[in-house]
Chains A and B, each alone.
Chain A
Amino acid sequence: MSLEVIRNKKPPRLRKIKFNLPEVIKFKLDNNLQVYFIQKSTLPLLSMSLVTEAGSKYDPAGKKGLTNLLAMAVDEGAGDYDSLQLSDQFEILGASFSISCDQDSVYFSLQVLKDEFERGLELFSTILIDSHLYEADLSREKRKIKTRILQTSDEADEIANEVFEYKLFGNNNPYAYPTIGYSDDIDSISLQDIKDFYNHFIVPENSFLVVTGDYETESLKNILNKYFRTWSRSSITKPRITDADIEQPGLYIIDKKDSVQSEIRTGLISYKRNDYDFYARSILNLILGGQFSSRLNLNLREHKGFTYGVYSRFIYLMSSAYLFVSTSVSSENTGAALTEIFKEIKKIRNGITKKELEFAKSSLIRKFPSSFESYRQIASNVIGQIIHTMPEDYFETYIDEIKKVTRERIIKAAEDNLFPDKLTTVIVGSKEKTAAQLKDIYQGEIIELDEKGSSLQSL
């Protein structure tokens, strides 16, 4: 049965594969909570995420870190259970339950075996309906967060990420501030602030629920209604988030003595996900720095050996977006690496080759099915679609839309989104080892910042 082996030619692919998109069933609960349900019965488990638009963008001035503190405190006791008892109840189910938050939303996530789903759901809903929010628990979580903030000042990569967003958005924009907040602000957050935020924002009208798993639709509806029924608080008015319009291009350095590498972040504000040709930008980014074989990574890693890796992406927020390029390079190559990054961003405005376009399209189109593999991946795709108000038929049309992108559209996307002279760049590393290199390659002013992003001096 031995077949002849041909090694010097790439083997062909077999017939086209069939991929069926998971169907999203939508319904509303009695309390008006919108539910998206994806039935999947390959394994006896369910994965559930409640997304509430209560992110750190709503943290008031002087109380940065409020949302994160709530996310930490909200499951420190609810209903009949104190903090440890509540956790114990989840643990005995073998369930994984977590709460996280970012600039736009708070996420409550549960993954649990089917047999334990109802009990998991009951506990989950108790946290939404009847969280204790006691002073003692809040104080403990505050101390934990403040220690964590102290620790981040050791971490060059964290400092770089935080200060980059701070300089990019400017201090009038709520996206400029780290979700974890500032120590002084955290001290000034009161129990009443937390309770008000919980009552005001963590409400059905401001949330949606995505469930993936092995359940029958009608039964799911009934069981969700059973446990979420009493979760209803008055609807809310949210403060308006202004679009980012302040740009602070420039080169900033934060001195971290004894660093052996420099963390580099560069980028600029861009259009929201659904406000500009999303498909052209996806392809543009894929070629620039979106995967291993991108221009940036082949240049900086595979040719120059400056870094373990470099990537770029468009970060999409609900009310803004930005291009983000990130890498970590050895101190002695900081200037040279930055020059190459600038060069690649500039160069791609001149266009891409036909081959690059074909490669990018092939990659995105053929990768599509594998982004629906795990229960959580499916949920996270649906969440992205909703948060960024992508069209109803977004998944159905995705492949065709990618196919339609032309090289002209890519050039236009580059010209409209990438401005080499408007880049905000933050370096965290040894000033002693890198300052001279940076002066050599950068015409403008170089400003030294402290770890929070405040200006210290011009270099």
Chain B
Amino acid sequence: MDLLNIEYEKYKLKNGLEVILHKDDNLPLVAVNLWYRVGSANEKQGGTGMAHLFEHMMFQGSENIPKEMHFKYIQEAGGSLNGSTNFDRTNYYEKLPSNFLELALWLESDRMGFFLQALTQEKLDNQKSVVINERLERYDNQPYGLAWEILLSNLYPLYHPYSWPTIGLIDDISRFTLDEVSAFFKRYYSPSNASVTVAGNFDEKFVKENIEKYFSEIPDSIERVEINSSSVKLESEKLITREENVQLERIYLAWSSEKAYGNDDAALDILADILSGSKNSRLYKNLVYEKELAQDVSAYHYSGKLAGHFMIIATVKKEKSPDTIKDEIFKELGMIEKNGITERELKKTKNNIRSGFIFSLQNLDAMANQLNYYNYFLNEPNSFNYDLNRYNMVTIDKIKSVTNDYFSKPYIELRVKPKK
């Protein structure tokens, strides 16, 4: 039995909506998951945060669904639901008892096709306020909460679509008008810019008929806007310091890296795990366990549709030196570049990735989202084995060469220091 060979069916409606179906009868549950190919990368400087604010607006009702009822209908059916926005896409999802599948299709199609009819200034004002509070709670009022956006805006060129945070800047969020929200919907929320995945316990004929019934009459708009993204090439190193009400200094190092599914993407993921993914990882063992210079350390590789970045972050213990930590980080990178890593290290990371894949099959909603993810990036929903194989193909030499290629280049350094 090949666990990771996921059976599915994929087709397109006449209006361009992609449909992906995956049957799983283990439990009487069904997951519905929609991806719209729009994220904060579709915004511009001065208009940041629209994609995410728009995600909020999608829960404010549509022509046949009064405000508050989207949540109520799903919850009354015993379902769970949410949405999320990142650089590249916005998703909406619900998981509910399988006999309520039609309810989800009705709700999703109503906001895909008949959203504008229910849009009001009052709803927009309310959700702007909610989103600004979200930003305050998750970023502005958190220690080190603004580090991320400082790093992005320095690592990416000013007009690169990854140079601002998905949540947006408060000034931009407060300025959005009703017209801009409408225009955003018309431009990006058309069927041919979306894919819907249904995973779980369903009758095939029933699900196909109902997807056709609810979605096929939604007209496709023809506007298609390509994102202009310049290449990311940092010309010189940059050190940024910032003072905050924190007890401990934190040091951030950020390099531009590789986009999702690029040649070096998998090797950089593995490198991140080798550096900080476990107690025996290079940086954890050195900085946290043995020398106790840092309270924590994490290496992190993010790869999106347009670009990627690699970050190493360490919290400096009291009376320890951030400069020493930085030296140790570069020493470890240098050692990997020179001597590579051990067979055992590589095997541990690969085993960890493989069991992660299998553990992730426990949840239907995670499965539905993953099918959409692979469809978006690879145009092939059943890419679990392909993806895992990418990691299995990575060799010690490859790890050496990516370490050399990426970490000898200029980087951004941010230090958040305690206020004196």
Contact = CB atoms under 8 A, between A and B. Distances in A.
A1 interface: yes
A423 interface: no
Interface stretch (A4-12, A220-228, A433-441): A4-12
B127 to A, nearest CB: 8
Contacts of A148: 295
B213 A308 contact: no
B409 interface: no
B134 A16 contact: no
B344 interface: yes
A250 B335 CA distance: 59
A407 B130 CA distance: 33
B174 interface: no
B28 A369 contact: yes
A7 B285 contact: no
A91 B99 contact: no
A88 B72 contact: no
A7 B106 contact: yes
Interface in B345-359: 347-348, 351-356, 358-359
A5 B210 CA distance: 9
A362 B78 contact: yes
Contacts of B29: 369-370, 373
B186 interface: no
B72 A359 contact: yes
B136 A261 contact: yes
Contact of B245 (A93, A154, A329): A154
B136 A330 contact: yes
B28 A365 contact: no
Interface in B36-94: 63-64, 67-68, 71-73, 75-80
B140 interface: yes
B280 A91 contact: yes
Interface stretch (B15-23, B258-266, B324-332, B361-369): B361-369
A287 to B, nearest CB: 12
B26 interface: yes
A17 interface: yes
Interface in A1-52: 1-5, 7-8, 10-19, 42-45
A305 interface: yes
Nearest to B356: A94
Nearest to B279: A87
Contact of B114 (A7, A44, A359, A373): A7
Contact of A95 (B76, B97, B355): B355
Given A260-B136, A308-B134, A374-B362, A84 B289 contact: yes
Given A13-B103, A370-B97, A91 B78 contact: no
Chain B interface category by residue count: 35 or more
B102 A305 contact: no
Nearest to A114: B358
B355 A292 contact: no
A301 B64 contact: no
Interface string A86-107: 0110011111100000000000
Contacts of A257: 245
Contact of A363 (B78, B98, B103, B206): B78
A374 B80 CA distance: 15
A359 to B, nearest CB: 5
A5 B295 contact: no
Contact of A366 (B27, B78, B129, B354): B78
B52 to A, nearest CB: 12
B348 A147 contact: no
Among A42, A113, A155, A308, the one with the most B-chain Cβ atoms within 10 Å of its Cβ is A308
Contact of B78 (A4, A83, A144, A368): A368
B246 A154 contact: yes
A84 B28 contact: no
B395 interface: no
Interface string A55-93: 000000000000000000000000000011001100111
A328 B130 CA distance: 11
A142 B212 CA distance: 61
Contact of B68 (A5, A13, A302, A374): A302
Given A261-B141, A370-B80, A147 B295 contact: yes
Nearest to B59: A292
Interface of A: 1-5, 7-8, 10-19, 42-45, 83-84, 87-88, 91-96, 111-113, 140, 143-144, 147-148, 150-151, 153-156, 257-261, 291-293, 298, 301-303, 305-308, 328-330, 359, 362-370, 372-375
26 contacts: A1-B209, A3-B210, A5-B217, A8-B64, A10-B103, A10-B106, A14-B102, A83-B279, A83-B289, A88-B348, A91-B278, A91-B351, A93-B351, A94-B356, A112-B355, A147-B318, A148-B295, A150-B318, A151-B247, A261-B136, A330-B136, A362-B76, A363-B78, A367-B78, A369-B27, A373-B364
Given A44-B3, A292-B71, 17 more contacts: A15-B99, A18-B28, A43-B3, A43-B361, A92-B347, A144-B288, A151-B143, A259-B141, A260-B140, A293-B71, A305-B130, A366-B79, A366-B100, A367-B78, A367-B79, A370-B27, A373-B364
Q: Which 9 A-B pairs have CB atoms at the shortest separation, nearest pair first?
A: A366-B78, A305-B129, A94-B351, A94-B355, A367-B78, A17-B28, A87-B279, A308-B134, A154-B143
